[in-house]
């Protein structure tokens, strides 16, 4: 339960063996390859070695991967096989994998066909949108009997357009007749915003009519390129849309015939992912004309296997050694199954540096306790554990998803425990349903009845949490042989802070606490300014150091969120149950109660689980890590076969 010990791997091999060696290391999946190209900045290295420029090739592979992914997503719409949300990777043999590699040219033809189908569908969609937009603009003029291309005769001009719906058409006709008697206006259609009108007028009075129309907000419309009436054009356009739909259906049917290629395309995608990762690894190496240099890190337990693998099959020089003092190595954490889910909390913050400790063993119990206290409802705990437990049993999860679901599963168990301790079972639902005849009493106490007691215990847990962090800081100092620093900066603070805590308890222990606080304060004043040069500066700095007690009290107050979130769960649950019971327990009231209870409980549980996750993490990051932990470690990222869709059933770990 610590940071895994790493050993440095230095390898010199022949250029002709490089690709096979990289393939073997990828299959082994335990060597973290270091990017050695930074050494080229040094003149003595730059004159002897060079790196392989694989950037263009990697970019080319990435472009191919994007095309394959697009084809898979396109065909997935036509596949009858539906994948579950947490579906495991499809298992194939290495023989099946090689068969797909050999059919690369066939698969590219399929991809090109799919791209053509997709291009055609995009074009058809664009054309259909244009036609439908044109139909929408023609529909208001469907009752207009005049062909759209006729805009004038020998003596008459025609205009169509819109005016605001607020215009009084009767007054408009009278006014136009007075100003231009040789004209005619017709309302073709109208909606809530505007009137669609057609105007005919003699050419000799075109200017007065134009001025009149401009004055009433007339906006002219022209359908250039269209012949025939609006209704005839609408009919023609609908026929074109029908042909587009037929063409689209034809393409859909052809696409369905290609859906069987999804499995091969997924395998082909992962083939290229493996090839890209291999090229990236080769780009990190240093090369001479006939040899290459590889630097990497391997877990101590795997070092012997890697050395045997390399020296057995190739003529190469392999040197495996322990890291030198101060030499950074990639961080791999190893914890028992109960602690491992909590690693994601540390990983989201930062991995420990090589000279630190893995904090997860100490973080895990506090995170477990605090999460449950914040949700603190046994009913929600049962649901959370059941849901996450089913997911874990039914699906093969990996990586962050696995850790998150396991973390929530353990959080559900903690929630069940604290819910039973506080008497929360979906709030007070049992009391509401039985109308007060039966109540599940809390094993410890009900925070809604005694919030101050929960607040005090929240502070107690906070003090223990902070003292643990201080103890870890002291341990790190002792490990670095800074014994006096550990005594002065941790031990004396323990004496002072414990004395202050004992003062709050009263009785005989308060007397002990008083003397401890006084002794601790004196010791801190005498030691906290030890880095200063003269005696006055030392004493002044020591006195000022006591002000840090305010920071300690501020940190302890942060744990009041245990009370706040714990109470919010119970209060909201109680409100939900009360709302559901307002309609009584007649048949309709029972149905309404169930609906309100289910919807409200799901919402309440989701919000409070999210809140507990966020605020419990915050307590670890600020109040806990802030006392002893810096982080900054680089993750252990070994060269291995990383796939998205497939998994190998019988991959040979040997070259």
User: Residue 42: inside a domain, yes or no?
Assistant: no
pLDDT at 653: 44
pLDDT score of 654 more than 70: no
Structural domain boundaries enclosing 196:
152-221
Q: Are 397 and 541 in contact (CB under 8 A)?
A: no
Final residue belonging to a domain, choices 221, 256, 278: 221
97 or 558, greater pLDDT:
558
- What residues pair up with 91 in beta bridges, in sequence order? 647
User: Residue 548: inside a domain, yes or no?
Assistant: yes
User: Residue 404: inside a domain, yes or no?
Assistant: yes
Q: What is the CATH number of the domain that holds 199?
A: 3.30.70.2750
pLDDT at 91: 86
Q: Token digits for 16?
A: 């002709």
Q: Token digits for 157?
A: 């001009």
User: Residue 173: inside a domain, yes or no?
Assistant: yes
User: Residue 637: inside a domain, yes or no?
Assistant: no
Confidence grade of residue 43 (pLDDT, cut at 50, 70, 90)? low
User: Residue 85: inside a domain, yes or no?
Assistant: no
What integer best gives the mean pLDDT of the chain? 90
Closest listed residue to residue 627, CA positions, set 464, 472, 458:
472
337 or 47, greater pLDDT:
337
Alpha-carbon distance 19 to 620, whole Å?
Answer: 45
The whole model's pTM is what? Answer: 0.83
pLDDT at 182: 84
| Span 99-113, pLDDT tens digits | 888 899 999 999 999
User: Residue 434: inside a domain, yes or no?
Assistant: no
Confidence grade of residue 180 (pLDDT, cut at 50, 70, 90)? confident
Q: Same domain, yes or no, for 397 and 546?
A: yes
Final residue belonging to a domain, choices 171, 194, 221: 221
SS (H, E, C) 224-275: CCCCCCHHHHHHHHHHHHHHHHHHHHHHHHHHHHHHHHHHHHHHHHHHHHHH
Q: Same domain, yes or no, for 460 and 603?
A: yes
Domain count across the chain: 2
Confidence grade of residue 33 (pLDDT, cut at 50, 70, 90)? very high
pLDDT score of 90 more than 80: yes
Region 162-177: mean pLDDT is: 83
Q: Same domain, yes or no, for 212 and 354?
A: no
Q: Token digits for 609?
A: 């689980």
Closest listed residue to residue 167, CA positions, set 158, 178, 176:
176
- How is 315-342 classified by DSSP, letter by letter? --EEEEEPPPTT----B-EE--TTTGGG
pLDDT at 173: 81
User: Residue 157: inside a domain, yes or no?
Assistant: yes
Region 542-551: mean pLDDT is: 86
């Amino acid at each position: 339960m610590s940071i895994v010990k790493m050993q440095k791997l230095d390898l010199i091999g022949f250029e002709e063996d490089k690709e096979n060696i990289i393939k073997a290391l990828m299959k082994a999946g335990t060597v973290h390859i270091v990017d050695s190209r930074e050494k080229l900045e040094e003149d003595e290295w730059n004159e002897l070695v060079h790196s392989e420029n694989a950037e263009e090739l990697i970019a080319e592979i990435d472009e191919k991967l994007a095309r394959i992914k697009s084809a898979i997503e396109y065909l997935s719409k036509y596949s009858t096989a539906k994948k579950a949300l947490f579906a495991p990777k499809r298992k194939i043999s290495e023989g099946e994998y090689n068969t797909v590699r050999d059919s690369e040219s066939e698969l590219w033809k399929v991809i090109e066909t799919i791209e053509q189908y997709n291009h055609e569908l995009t074009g058809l969609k664009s054309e259909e949108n244009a036609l439908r937009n044109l139909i929408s603009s023609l529909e208001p003029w469907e009752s207009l009997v005049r062909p759209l291309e006729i805009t004038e005769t020998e003596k008459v001009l025609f205009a169509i357009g819109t005016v605001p719906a607020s215009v009084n058409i009767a007054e408009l006709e009278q006014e136009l007749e007075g100003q231009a008697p040789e004209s005619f206006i017709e309302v073709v259609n109208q909606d809530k915003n505007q009137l669609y009108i057609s105007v005919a007028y003699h050419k000799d009075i075109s200017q007065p009519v134009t001025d009149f129309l401009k004055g009433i907000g007339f906006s002219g419309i022209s359908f250039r390129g269209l012949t025939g009436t609006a209704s005839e054009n609408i009919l023609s356009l609908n026929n074109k849309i029908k042909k587009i739909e037929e063409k689209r259906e034809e393409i859909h049917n052809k696409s369905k015939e290609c859906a069987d290629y999804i499995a091969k395309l997924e395998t082909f995608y992962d083939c290229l992912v493996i090839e890209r990762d291999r090229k990236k690894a080769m780009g990190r190496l240093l090369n001479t004309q006939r040899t290459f240099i590889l630097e990497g890190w391997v877990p101590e337990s795997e070092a012997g296997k890697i050395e045997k693998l390399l020296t057995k099959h190739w003529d190469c020089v392999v040197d495996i050694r322990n890291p030198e003092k101060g030499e950074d190595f990639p961080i791999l954490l190893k914890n028992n199954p109960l602690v491992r889910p909590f690693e994601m909390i540390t990983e989201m913050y930062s991995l420990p540096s090589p000279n630190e400790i893995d904090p997860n063993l100490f973080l895990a119990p506090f995170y477990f306790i605090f999460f449950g206290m914040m949700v603190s409802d046994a009913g929600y705990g049962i649901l959370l554990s059941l849901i996450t437990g089913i997911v874990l049993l039914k699906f093969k999860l990996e990586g962050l998803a696995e850790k998150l679901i396991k973390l929530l599963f353990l959080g559900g168990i903690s929630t069940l425990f604290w819910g039973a301790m506080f008497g929360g079972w979906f709030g007070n639902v049992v009391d509401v349903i039985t109308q007060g005849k039966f109540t599940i009493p809390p094993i410890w106490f009900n925070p809604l009845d005694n919030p101050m007691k929960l607040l005090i215990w929240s502070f107690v847990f906070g003090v223990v949490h902070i003292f643990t962090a201080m103890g870890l800081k002291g341990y790190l100092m002792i490990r670095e042989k800074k014994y006096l620093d550990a005594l002065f900066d941790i031990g004396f603070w323990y004496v002072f802070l414990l004395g202050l805590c004992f003062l709050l308890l009263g009785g005989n222990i308060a007397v002990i606490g008083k003397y401890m606080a006084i002794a601790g304060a004196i010791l801190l004043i005498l030691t906290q300014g030890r880095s200063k040069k003269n005696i006055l500066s030392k004493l002044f700095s020591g006195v000022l150091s006591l002000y840090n007690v305010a920071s300690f009290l501020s940190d302890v107050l942060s744990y009041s969120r245990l009370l706040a979130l714990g109470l919010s769960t119970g209060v909201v649950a109680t409100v939900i149950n009360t709302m559901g019971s307002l309609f009584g327990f007649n048949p309709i009231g029972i149905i309404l109660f169930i609906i309100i209870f289910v919807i409200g409980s799901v919402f309440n549980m989701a919000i409070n689980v999210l809140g507990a996750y966020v605020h419990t993490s915050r307590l670890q990051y600020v109040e806990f890590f802030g006392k002893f932990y810096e982080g900054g470690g680089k993750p252990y990222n070994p060269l291995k076969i990383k796939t998205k869709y497939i998994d190998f059933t019988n991959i040979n770990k040997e070259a």
